[in-house]
Amino acid sequence: MRIDNLQYANWSEKVFRQMREGQVDAVHVTIAYYETFQETVRNIAAWNRHFAAFPDLIMQAYTASDIDHAKATNRTAIIFGAQNPSPIEDDIDLVEILHRLGLRFMQLSYNNQSLLATGCYEDDDPGITRMGKEIIAEMNRVGMVIDMSHSADRSTIEAAELSTRPIAITHANPDAWHPARRNKRDEVIRAVTEGGGMLGFSLYPHHLKNGPDCTLQDFCEMIARTADRFGTQHLGLGTDLCQDQPDSVVTWMRNGRWTKTTDYGEGDATNPGFPPMPSWFRDNRDFDNIAGGLAATGMTTEEVAGIMGGNWYSFYTDNFTPAG
């Protein structure tokens, strides 16, 4: 099973064909950064049009077994996620509504403070809010995975503690390998993985040692060392591939509607756009490179298969349906 647990491409037939070429069985796609509930529904409607237009290439997945069906019919399963809790606005009842519509991951915050948790760009992190505690319980109940990729440390650790089900960091790397605002310190990774949660390794260049010049060997060695420390079964991929997006999209990701000045996030004024991808991972066609690189580190076939998708598949099996 080959799964990429985070992409936000400028979706097109070209991208969907590349998913098939790369034998990608499932992709967790972002459908909201700052979108309100109704704007998110509109994005789901746009996906419905993709599903109708390309029924031989893609299908929506609500459960892990939908991925089996996609694989058996040579298609890529698409799983919806939100990088911010903006789709639920201030309304706890929208968690169940959005789960029914297929939302399976939701970040509790995205860089900034949300109603639920603190983002990794805030100066101070008071942890999970009163509403955040209520929403965690509701996400646990319906089977929506708590994603803390863009959240701050204390909020992430508290979310792992408060959640009765495993949580995820869908796309980030260890801060010890490459210090970055978005990469995660050991105690954060430990809090998530020791509760059965998952870490998805990112290929977004700002999260890589040496950025776009990061070598395949460096990346795969980092994964192997992370596996030594936290357990292979808790690891997968979340490439953060933002293929074919214009730079206006990264400006939206960083600025939303919250500021009238320009926030450059992980970039800066001289480098405001999307960075180029590493040469060995241009797009969905290049997953074989990663599989080969992981094998070259000395990992077993089973370990490589787990990181390439098996571990996410197991996690989905346990966490996409109601508790009980």
- Return residues touching a copy of itself (CB under 8 A): 34, 36, 86, 89-93, 112-115, 118, 121-127, 129-132, 134, 138, 256-261, 263
The residues, ordered by sequence, that sit 6+ positions from 282 with a Cβ below 8 Å of its Cβ are none
> Is the Cβ–Cβ distance between 139 and 282 less than 8 Å?
no
55 vs 126, beta carbon nearer a copy of itself? 126
CB 118, min distance to a copy of itself, A: 7
Shortest separation between residue 74's beta carbon and a copy of itself, angstroms: 40
Q: How far is the CB of 31 from a copy of itself (least distance, A)?
A: 17
- In the complex, minimum distance from the CB of residue 260 to a copy of itself, in angstroms, rounded to a whole number: 6
Q: How far is the CB of 128 from a copy of itself (least distance, A)?
A: 9
Cβ proximity to a copy of itself: between 61 and 108 the closer is 108
With helix as H, strand as E and coil as C, how does 217-252 read?
HHHHHHHHHHHHHHCHHHEEECCCECCCCCHHHHHH
Nearer to a copy of itself, 19 or 135 (CB): 135
Q: Which residues contact 182 (CB under 8 A, 6 or more apart)?
A: 120, 149, 150, 172, 202, 206, 207, 266
Chain center to CA of 208: 16
Q: Which is nearer to a copy of itself, 248 or 261 (CB)?
A: 261
Q: Which residues have C-beta within 8 Å of that of residue 259, sequence separation ≥ 6?
A: none
Q: Is there a contact between 181 and 216 (Cβ–Cβ < 8 Å)? A: no
Smallest gap from Cβ 191 to a copy of itself, in A, equals: 18
- Which is closer to a copy of itself, CB of 89 or CB of 187? 89
Nearer to a copy of itself, 157 or 237 (CB): 157
Closest distance to a copy of itself from the beta carbon of 144 (Å): 15
Q: Which is nearer to a copy of itself, 137 or 296 (CB)?
A: 137
Which of 173, 297, 150, 164 is CA-nearest to residue 235?
A: 173
Q: Output the 3-class SS for 175-205.
A: CCCCCCCCCECHHHHHHHHCCCCEEEECCCH
Task: In whole angstroms, give the CA distance from residue 97 to residue 89.
Answer: 12
